[in-house]
Amino acid sequence: MANVVLKNIQKVYLPANVHVVKGFDLEIKDEEFIVLVGGSGCGKTTTLRMIAGLEEITSGELYIDGVLSNDVPPSLRNIAMVFQNYALFPHMSVYKNIAFPLQLKRVPKDQIEEKVQKVASLLGLSELLKRKPKELSGGQRQRVAVGRAIIKDSKLLLMDEPLSNLDAKLRVQMRSEIIKLHEELKKTIIYVTHDQVEAMTMATRIVIMDKGVIQQVDTPENVYKYPSNLFVAGFIGTPSMNFISCVPSSDGYLYITKNLENKETIFSDKTDDNKEYKLKLTDPQFKLLKQRDYINKKVILGIRPEDVKTAPIKTNENTIKVKINICELLGAEYNLMYYISGNLINSKASLDKRIISGMELEVNFNIENAHLFETESSECVRICKEIEKPIV
C-alpha cells in the first residue's frame, strides 16, 4: 500500500502568476480514502494531478512511501488514475481496455486473462467483455475505467470526479460500488469531487479546499458537527447551514440584527421591519462568550435546518413566529424557507400538518446545537453542547 505526504505544496501558473494551490500540507496514511472537495477552481484537481505527476510542482515536497517524488516520472510512481471522461479506447473491447496496462508491461497472456476475469467479476463486467464502449451505459463505462486502473495493482489510486457524468441514480449505485471496492482492495485512494454528498458518504477523511487553501481536514462526522469556519459550515450539508447576524447581550440573549447585504429582501418583508427577535443562550454558552469578550460584538449564528423545527410549545423562549415564503415537499418532510430580519432561514417540518407558502408558523431554534462565527475572520467560536466529546 502507499502513504503520501505533501509538504507546503505550491502551484503557480506563469507568466500570469496565478497561484492556484497555496501551502498544501497533508499526510495520507495507508488504505485511507481521502476526498478532496470544494467548488470549481479551488485547486483540488490540480493537487491530484501534481500527485500523479501530470502537473509540475512549483515548490514544496511530495513523498510517496517515503520517497521524494517531485521529479519522478508519472510512469514510475506506481499510480493508477481514473479520469472524469473515462478515457476509454473506442475501438477496443471492454476486455482489451481493461487489459491494456498489462499488455504495455508485456505480462504473459495467461496472467492477463486471469487478472481481467478477476477484475471483471469484481466489477460486474463479466458479461460485457466483448462489447465496445459505445455499447455500454455511463455506469458500465465508468466501471471499465475503474477496472483498467485497479488491474495494474498499483499502490495508489487517484480518481478525478469519476461520477460527475452520471445521472443521480447511477451516482448512488457507483458510490456504493467504489466504497465496496475500497474495502476489498484496501488501496489508498485519493478522490476529487465537487459534490459534498459524495465526500460525506465515501471518505475516511475529507479535505475541504477554497481558493487553493485547505480549510479543514477531518472525518465526515467532525466536519459536519464541528466546522472550523464559515466556509466549511456553509459548504457541507444539504440544505446548507443557516447564518444569522446577531449580537450577544449581557442579559444572556442573542439579539438578531438585520441582514444589510440584501436590502431588497429586508424592505419587501414589511412583517418584521420593526420587530425585535432574540434567542436565549444556555448558561454555559453565555459564560463562554462573556469569558472570551464577545458580549455586544456582532457575530454570525450558524444553525442547521434540522435544528429549526415547527414549534410544539408556544411558551418556549427560542420560538419565533414567521411567514413561510417557500414550502418544498421532499417526500418524508417539508423544507421551509422564510426570512427573519432579512436573514434567510431553511428549516424542516414533518408531514403531520399541511403547510403552504404564505402560512404563518412558529418555529423553534435548538440553540444547544448552534455555532457562532466571527464576522471578520469567519472562524468558528465553539459553543455547541457536544464540543467536550469530539469524535475520534
Map out the domains of the chain as residue ranges.
Answer: 4-228, 242-388
C-alpha cell at 89: 479506447
pLDDT in tens, 56-83: 999 999 999 999 999 999 989 989 999 8
Note if the pTM is more than 0.85.
Answer: yes
pLDDT band at 387 (very low <50, low <70, confident <90, very high): very low
Note the residue count of the chain.
392
For residue range 298-345, list pLDDT tens digits in order: 999 999 999 998 876 555 679 999 999 999 998 888 999 999 988 999
Closest CA to 153 of 192, 101, 108: 101
Q: What does the alpha-carbon distance between residue 307 and residue 231 come to, in Å, rounded to a whole number? A: 19
217-248 per-position pLDDT tens digit: 999 999 999 999 999 999 998 889 999 999 99
Q: Phi and psi at residue 306, in whole multiples of 5°?
A: -70, -10
State the amino acid at position 350 in one-letter form.
Answer: S
Grid cell locating 321? 413566529
DSSP string, 246-283: EEE-TTSEEEE---TT-HHHHHH-GGGTT---EEEPPH
Looking at the predicted structure, is the pLDDT value of residue 271 above 90? no
CATH 3.40.50.170 for domain 242-388, yes or no, is no
Q: Which CATH number fits domain 4-228: 2.60.40.10, 3.10.110.10, 2.40.100.10, 3.40.50.300?
A: 3.40.50.300
pLDDT at 270: 44
As a whole number, mean pLDDT of residues 172-201 equals 90
Grid coordinates given for 331: 417526500
Q: What is the rounded CA–CA span in Å between residue 236 and residue 234?
A: 6
Residue 42 pLDDT > 80, yes or no?
A: yes
Using pLDDT thresholds of 50, 70 and 90, give the confidence band for residue 261: low
Residue 150 φ/ψ, nearest 5 degrees: -80, -20
Closest CA to 43 of 217, 197, 240, 207: 207
pLDDT over 90 at 280, yes or no: yes
Residue pair 56/30 in contact (Cβ under 8 Å)? The answer is no
First vs last C-alpha separation in the chain? 23
Three-state secondary-structure class, residue 85: coil
For 101-105, the CB contacts below 8 A with 24+ separation are 101/148, 101/151, 101/152, 102/151, 102/152
Mean pLDDT for the chain overall: 88
Least Cα distance to 350 among 367, 366, 329 occurs for 329
The answer to whether the CB of 78 falls within 8 A of the CB of 157 is: no
Query: Given a cut of 50, is residue 265 above it in pLDDT?
Result: no
pLDDT (0 to 100) of residue 313: 56
pLDDT beyond 50 at 389: no
